[in-house]
Amino acid sequence: IAGITQAPTSQILAAGRRMTLRCTQDMRHNAMYWYRQDLGLGLRLIHYSNTAGTTGKGEVPDGYSVSRANTDDFPLTLASAVPSQTSVYFCASSDYLWNNEQFFGPGTRLTVL
């Protein structure tokens, strides 16, 4: 692994289903982030994590949850997906929270029907 990986690459999901988007980084970065990118709205922060064991809410956290059990992994869970959660989701990491350059994963394209 080099950098940040996300899985799946894309997913079509029925409304009401539970879905977990996976994110793994191998740079030993302390901070990790989840964004969604929508046409006309740009990138918006969903949740972030300062270090393993701590998380925080971003601009659009409703309907999403995260956990940070270890340094490398930062999964994003949609407990009951809704069509408005159709988006491209990007995971990112940085050495320290907000201070340094953010490195982005390749994204997960999610469609909720």
Partner 1 sequence: KQEVTQIPAALSVPEGENLVLNCSFTDSAIYNLQWFRQDPGKGLTSLLLIQSSQREQTSGRLNASLDKSSGRSTLYIAASQPGDSATYLCAVRQERNRDDKIIFGKGTRLHILP
- The residue ranges that bind partner 1 (CB under 8 A) are 4, 33, 40-45, 48, 58-59, 90, 92, 98-107
CB of 80 to partner 1, least distance (A): 26
CB of 105 to partner 1, least distance (A): 6
Measured from the CB atom, is 11 or 102 closer to partner 1? 102
H helices, E strands: number in the chain? 0, 11
Q: Extract the tokens encoding 37.
A: 């990118």
Measured from the CB atom, is 18 or 57 closer to partner 1? 57
